Amino acid sequence: MLKKNYGIAFDFDGVISDVYHIFRGHFWDMFGVNIEAEKDHYNFEFDLKKSEFYEDWWWKEIAVAITQYQHICPPIHESIEALKAIYEKYGDITIITAREPSDAVMQVTKLWCEKVFDFPYEIHFVADSKQKKLELMRLGIIYYVDDRWKTAQHLSEILDISFLFDSPWNRGRKEQLERNVIRVDSLWRMKDILDARLA
């Protein structure tokens, strides 16, 4: 559906794809590390007192877990339904993810999307959060939702509204959110706010 570009986009992991329990299981198997639900497992902040090599291994295992288990990964509750409603109102869905842009990761991610979405979407892969910011700017995105506290704060510099997807791993931060960061408990809530804003 060709519509005006409203500049709306979405993060993937933790917003659309409920991949974190898979990471937890995989990291337990590989490292014997029990990541609690409150921990942001993308951060290497577990005080493991391990070498740099170990940290490197950890990062590589994120891509391994995605490749092995994406096909059994459930969507985040109600996200697909809300995305469909957002699509019907605002046009094609844009996803921007900092998942490793390797062939294997991109392939399993696209297969999953094709299986789960019955509406048009495009997905952009970037190498890290710095690249994510550049990609958002390149695409003219001004409304974006992410589940990482740090990312939502960082991206708020270039967004009209930076939505923080409420999750156990971003509730522990006590620092004040930037003025244009809004915590939402679902994509339905994000849609409500967009509807009010764009009416």
Residue with tokens 């490749």: 67
Of residues 50 and 64, the one with the C-beta less far from Mg ion: 64
Minimum CB separation of residue 16 from Mg ion in Å reads: 9
Q: Is 147 in the site for Mg ion (CB under 5 A)?
A: yes
Applying CB under 5 A, which of residues 14, 65, 79, 162 lies at the interface with Mg ion? Answer: 14
DSSP string, 90-104: H-SEEEEE-S---HH
Q: How far apart are CA 114 and CA 27, in angstroms?
A: 27
Of residues 13 and 135, the one with the C-beta less far from Mg ion: 13
What is residue 182's three-state secondary structure? strand
Q: How far apart are CA 127 and CA 2, in angstroms?
A: 28
Minimum CB separation of residue 146 from Mg ion in Å reads: 6
Distances (CA, A) of 26 to 22, 31, 32, 107, 188: 6, 8, 9, 20, 30
Applying CB under 5 A, which of residues 6, 8, 9, 11 lies at the interface with Mg ion? Answer: 11
Tell me the window of 32-40, 108-116, 142-150, 175-183 that interacts with Mg ion (CB under 5 A).
142-150
Tell me the window of 6-14, 16-24, 28-36, 131-139 that interacts with Mg ion (CB under 5 A).
6-14
Q: Which residues contact Mg ion (rule: CB under 5 A)?
A: 11, 13-14, 147
